[in-house]
Structure 1
Amino acid sequence: MNPSQQNWQLTTLSQRLIVSCHPAPELEDSALLEGIDSVWRDTRRHHPKLYNGRVFCVSDLKPDAISGFWCEYRWVLAQMRSPELAARLKLRSLAVTGLLICPEGVVLGRRNPASLYLPGFWQGVPAGSVEAREASDTVNLPEQLLAELDEEVGLSHDVILTDPLLACEHDTTHIIDLGFAIRTELSFDAIRAGWQAKANDEYDALECHAWHEIAPLTSQVLPTTRALLERLAP
């Protein structure tokens, strides 16, 4: 089913959101572990650059508090690729996504057709899993979003972030997006030039749309971005 037509669960977040961490559950079932290994080996054959880092998964989500744990990325990948494993793992991985607003309007990126997750759909930029980028277990959401912005758009300065405004949970993968607004005075031409020069291949197209032009595109736009558009529209 087209994800834009699915019922993703939306939670409005408090400005005083706290994120806390607890130990990950033990995976002791040998069949479950072998299933995870099998998915990882098969996916790596097609995507050899995949890295099995640590990602954050949510145990409990409230408007003012998120608690969760760090686990291996391959656990989350196995859940995305195998409904049988998903039913046993029941992970809710955490991601950050932004709605980048420049003087000309709203910047949207089209997910690369080769993406493992939701290829071909348009979304606010950037977007990515909450990853442990250092040895610390601390979850720093603004740093995570800025790192994704640099990697995916080539933009690392001249931006202002809001606190996370909302959480949107995918009703099949159970990935939870935290949505932020990102504002810049840079022109879209400058943003696009930086994307073309420095960014990775997360998006195969980057476009800017005035607010009044966005409504006809909503069937192609992912639900978290639609929720941010509705929340932030002038």
Structure 2
Amino acid sequence: MMRGTALTGPLAVRGDAAPPDPPRAALDRVAAIWQAEKARRGDALFDGRLFSIRTLAPGLITGWLAPYSWYVAQRRDAALAAALDIRPLGVTGIMICDDGIVLGRRGGGVETDAGLWELAPSGGVDGEFRTGDGSLDLGAQLLNELVEETGLPAALATAPPRPVALAEDGESGITDVGLLLRIACDAAAVRAAFAPLAGQEYAELAVVPRDALGAFMAGRAAQFGRVSRCLIETLGLTAP
């Protein structure tokens, strides 16, 4: 079940919560699953870090940085959830260029939502970007995803990305922060920047005029991501 919440004020994200202490049997199971994943997907699979939520309250999210291998293992074996307690936090851009809203169709080899359309860019929160007080900088994280996933330079942003909504997925345990991102370019520039990256994170990008967004989603009802649908509906982006 999806739950969307519009944000009306600032949002802080703190990553200093204590991590869980899983039993040895759970860690051994994680290691076995991770080795099987590496054998299947190759050495390019990297055990980085992702932010896992501990508490979620108005204006403040707290959590800790979990190994990516724990997240993959929990997805493969739901029995590990009690010991690992991975509840990932993600960022999703509501990116608006001169010609409309930017959407992407996920590549076939990504971990989540392969082949589905979603708001672009999007990604996990790895703790690399911080504000002056040590809080996680979600805006900087999103701009990094912008460059990596679309090829567009961060300098095109007309203002820092601003959190405007939450989408909580009760099925996957993932919560996404939707950030409004306006960029100063047209659809042709979006396509040109993305062309060298096609087939990586996204198989294709589309720029959809605001008044055509509802029809675009209706025509791809089974191929549209739940999180992005939730954010779009929460923000009323398909309203006349």
Question: Normalising by structure 2, what TM-score?
Answer: 0.86
Distance (Å, rounded) in 2 between the aligned partners of 1:177 and 1:201: 21
Deviation at 1:161, TM superposition (A): 4.0
Query: Do residues 65 (structure 1) and 64 (structure 2) align?
Result: no
Give, as a single letter, the amino acid of the residue that structure 1 aligns with 2:101: V
Distance (Å, rounded) in 2 between the aligned partners of 1:54 and 1:210: 36
**CA RMSD, Structure 1 to Structure 2 (Å):** 2.2
Give, as a single letter, the amino acid of the residue that structure 2 aligns with 1:195: F
Deviation at 1:211, TM superposition (A): 2.0
The 3 A distance-change label for structure 1 pair 28 and 101 is closer
Distance (Å, rounded) in 2 between the aligned partners of 1:63 and 1:163: 15
Alignment of 1:141-180 (within 5 A): 141-156=138-153, 157-159=155-157, 160-180=159-179
More moved, 134-143 vs 36-45 = 134-143
Distance (Å, rounded) in 2 between the aligned partners of 1:172 and 1:166: 19
The 3 A distance-change label for structure 1 pair 99 and 154 is same
Alignment of 1:209-224 (within 5 A): 209-216=208-215, 217-218=217-218, 219=221, 220-224=223-227
Aligned to 2:15: 21
Question: Normalising by structure 1, what TM-score?
Answer: 0.88
Aligned to 2:87: 92
The 3 A distance-change label for structure 1 pair 229 and 26 is closer
Distance (Å, rounded) in 1 between the aligned partners of 2:32 and 2:171: 21
Identity of aligned residues (%): 32
Q: Is the 8 A contact 2:2 2:230 kept in 1?
A: no
| TM-superposition CA deviations, 1:114-155 (whole Å, max 9, x none) | 111111110011111101337996411111000011000011
Structure 2 residues without counterparts, runs of 5 or longer:
none
Aligned to 1:37: 31
Q: How many residues align?
A: 228
Give, as a single letter, the amino acid of the residue that structure 2 aligns with 1:24: A
Distance (Å, rounded) in 2 between the aligned partners of 1:199 and 1:67: 35
The 3 A distance-change label for structure 1 pair 14 and 65 is farther
Alignment of 1:189-204 (within 5 A): 189-197=188-196, 201-204=200-203
Distance (Å, rounded) in 2 between the aligned partners of 1:83 and 1:227: 24
The 3 A distance-change label for structure 1 pair 78 and 124 is same
Structure 1 residues without counterparts, runs of 5 or longer:
1-6
Distance (Å, rounded) in 1 between the aligned partners of 2:8 and 2:210: 26
